Amino acid sequence: MFEAILSGLITGTLYALLASGFALVFGVTGVFNLAHGDLVILGAYVGEFLWRLAGWSPLLAMPAAALPAMLLAAGARPLLSRVGSPFVLRSVVLTFGASLLLQSALQTAFTADFRLIAVPAWDRGIRIFGLRVAAGRVLIAAMALAILSLLHLVFTRTFFGKSLRAVSLDREGAALAGIDPARVDRVALALGGALAGASGPLFAAIHSVTPSAGIGPTLTAIVLTIFGGVGSMRGLLPGGLLLGVAEAVAAWAGGAMWRDLTSLAFLLLLLRWRGGPQAGRGLA
Amino acid sequence: MPEGGSAAAFPPARAAFRWAGIGGAALALGLPLLPGQQEYLLYLMTMTFLFGLLAESWSLPAQAGLISFGHAAFFGVGAYGSALLSLKLQLSPWIGLPTAALLASAFGLLAAGVAGNLTGPYFSLATLAMAEILRVIALNWTTLTEGAWGLVGVPGLPWSGLGARAADYYAALLMLAAACGASAWIRRAPLGLAIQAIRQGEARAAASGVDARRVKRIALAVSGLFAGGAGALHAHIFHWVDPASAFSLNLSVLPLVMALFGGNGYLLGPAVGALVLYLGNELIFQRLAPGGHLWLYGGAVILVILALPEGILGWLVVRAGLRPRGSTP
């Protein structure tokens, strides 16, 4: 039971990292990016490729995994400006199409086989509070926490972070204050894509991935984004921890089927509570 | 077909659309009677009608702004419902199929209850979650559904006097015609106006006396009826149902792609989208890039959103001069 909770906390930190790029892009640009999970999987394949061919550790592969996802996300910006109204709905359908294309591309490039980054040294067990966990999972959680803390600092302490938040709260107001919303959009898309790609190798070190596995991280990101209050970054970590623990405990008590049902039920309940038309905006 | 303002100025184009429709219907009715070996052609057209039916059913709530990402839920309820009724209760498919469609319709009411007040992408996500939940249940409730193995030995349609292929073909054609007929009727009825009003602005619609929740309930129930019918028919055509295929994400993707590609604002747009995309995939795309259907569907969606906001039918109608550019169908 306690081991399940600890394992859930670790997965939950990774969930928060998976969701951060999605929440950032949605908060700033209003794009509900259904291809987010596919960018994560793209990063996962890059990490797996580097690990298998050159023996790179997933941590080392993260910048390399971030790059293609970042370029793809930033390259989508001119397409998004062509999307008519209603913008959110149409951008959902557009990114849905992008998700299908990305899945096909991944399948062509990497075949449909299951891939997992299984670093032998990461399987060594260590003890935390008397509970046994794999060393690699602790590393993953630590890395995710480090990135999330860094993001928090950027959002709260730098002018750039403040301009992101300003645009997410009020586009026109930010423009009046001298911030160029189009430029902020570009940066948010690139940063969001980079975050998705960078979390890929960590994801592949825990889960085996296939080209169509993107739906999982996408749903997780959506659940956490809605949980945190749409557009809020601060709620991601508590939401991730809660979801991770709930899933782990459900799987521990009732089998793997309940892990999936837990996150889906979470999503439906959250939508009923918070997903109304009044859902707030604003990145904080 | 839309009532275009400039229609009178271009009667030949309007007549061309009408004759294309009449010719297509005659060809569809007579196809199985033509001489020659045409099992494969009949199978292709049966599947086209089936996807057309699914796309038409998707389109009705979509016109009220309810974009479903989980139409596989209706399809799967219909498929499992009819398969179980024939296998466990030995009911004839002629009773099982409509009963299963009604079951899916009831699920539409449930979906409206759970997600009817959600707007935009939140509704879409809720439907996606519902389809996934049903899939996980079908996978794990092994005493009823045989789990991942699925139900095998579902009987075919007992339509004596016709070959099995022709029976499936006419059943699919009939159900597609029924769905189009229902849609055409709804478009002319006050309900159709209410649906349009809700899409254009729910608050304004409500202010002018439209009961939005009731309209959405009806739209989802009718949609569930036809999507469930498509699922039930699929089970009887293939004699088999399993969770991965009956609740597959593909079945949620396809109606959306087909309806938007064909032109969701037009009565026959979803069916035309199914015709072009399904046949294009089976006859052309599969030979160039086997297994690459996602390239086609992904590309089609992106093309529609960026370049053809009213689908190919909308593009054709504007090109033919039946409706001025920029007006709504």
**Cβ neighbours around A146 below 10 Å, total:** 11
Would you state the pLDDT for residue B329? 53
Residue B242 CB neighbour total at 10 angstroms: 21
The pair of three-digit structure tokens given for residue B322, joined into one six-digit string? 């039946």
Measured between beta carbons, the chain A residues lying within 8 angstroms of B132 are: 260, 264
- In angstroms, how far apart are the furthest CA atoms of chain A? 56
Q: What is the pLDDT of residues B287-318, one digit of tens each?
A: 777 667 778 888 888 888 888 888 888 888 88
DSSP B19: H
Any residues with CB less than 8 A from the CB of B121 and at least 6 apart, and which? A32, A88, A89, A92, B67
What whole-number distance in Å separates Cα of residue B21 and Cα of residue B271? Answer: 12
Q: Dihedrals φ, ψ of A31, to 5°?
A: -85, 125
C-alpha A100/C-alpha A78 separation (Å) is 19
Cβ separation of B125 and A264 shorter than 8 Å? no
Cα–Cα distance for residue pair B200/B264, rounded to 1 Å: 15
Cα A68 to the chain's mean position, in Å?
A: 15
Q: What is the pLDDT of residue A278?
A: 42
User: According to the model, what pLDDT value does residue B1 have?
Assistant: 40
Give the three-state DSSP class for B152: strand
- Residue B53: per-residue pLDDT: 95
Token pair of A138 as six digits? 């602790």
- The answer to whether the Cα torsion of B162, B163, B166, B171 is positive or negative is positive
- Rounded Cα gap, residues B305 and A83, in angstroms: 7
DSSP state of B162: S
A133, β-bridge pairs = A126
For residue B100, what pLDDT is reported?
A: 93
What are A158's strand-pairing partners? none
How many Cβ atoms are within 10 Å of B162's Cβ, its own excluded? 14
Query: What Cα–Cα distance (Å) separates residue B103 from each residue in A268, B82, B222, B229?
Result: 22, 9, 11, 10
DSSP 8-class letter at B263: -
pTM of the entire predicted model: 0.83
- Least Cα separation, residue B130 to chain A (angstroms): 8
Tokens of B269: 């747009």
Mutate to test the interface with B, among A93, A266, A268 (most CBs of B within 10 A): A93
Output the average pLDDT for chain B. 84
Structure confidence by residue, pLDDT tens digits, B209-260: 888 888 999 999 999 999 999 999 999 999 889 988 888 888 888 898 889 8
Q: Which tokens hold the place of B23? A: 């010719």
3-state DSSP call for residue A239? helix
Amino acid found at A181: P
CA distance B301 to chain A (A): 5
Closest CA–CA distance from residue B15 to any residue of chain A (Å): 32
Give the best residue of B63, B304, B306 to mutate against chain A (max A CB count within 10 A): B306
Q: Would an 8 Å CB–CB cutoff place B68 in contact with chain A? A: no
Least confident of A260-274, B4-18, B115-129, B235-249: B4-18
Q: Is A265 exposed, middle or buried (0-12, 13-18, 19+ CB in 10 A)?
A: middle
Burial class of residue B90 in the structure, from the number of CB atoms within 10 Å of its CB (0-12 exposed, 13-18 middle, 19+ buried): exposed
Q: CA-CA distance, A130 to A140, in Å (whole number)?
A: 20
ipTM: 0.76
So what's the pLDDT on residue B324?
60
Q: pLDDT at position B5, please?
A: 39
Residue B185 CA from chain centroid, whole number = 17
pLDDT in tens, chain A (284 residues): 788 888 889 999 999 999 999 999 988 888 888 899 999 999 999 999 998 888 888 888 889 999 999 999 988 888 888 887 777 777 888 888 899 899 989 988 888 788 888 887 777 777 777 777 788 888 889 999 999 999 989 888 888 888 888 888 888 888 888 888 888 889 999 999 999 999 999 999 888 888 888 888 998 888 888 877 665 678 888 888 989 888 888 888 877 778 878 888 888 888 877 655 444 444 44
**Is pLDDT at B205 greater than 60 in this prediction?**
yes
Residues B10-35 have a mean pLDDT of 75
Q: What percent of chain B has pLDDT over 90?
A: 26
Peptide linkage before A63 cis (omega within 30 of 0): no
Among A238-252, B74-88, B130-144, B159-173, name the most confident range: B74-88
**B306 chain-A contacts, CB cut-off 8 A:** 79, 82-83, 94
Candidate from B118, B130, B309 with C-beta closest to A275: B118
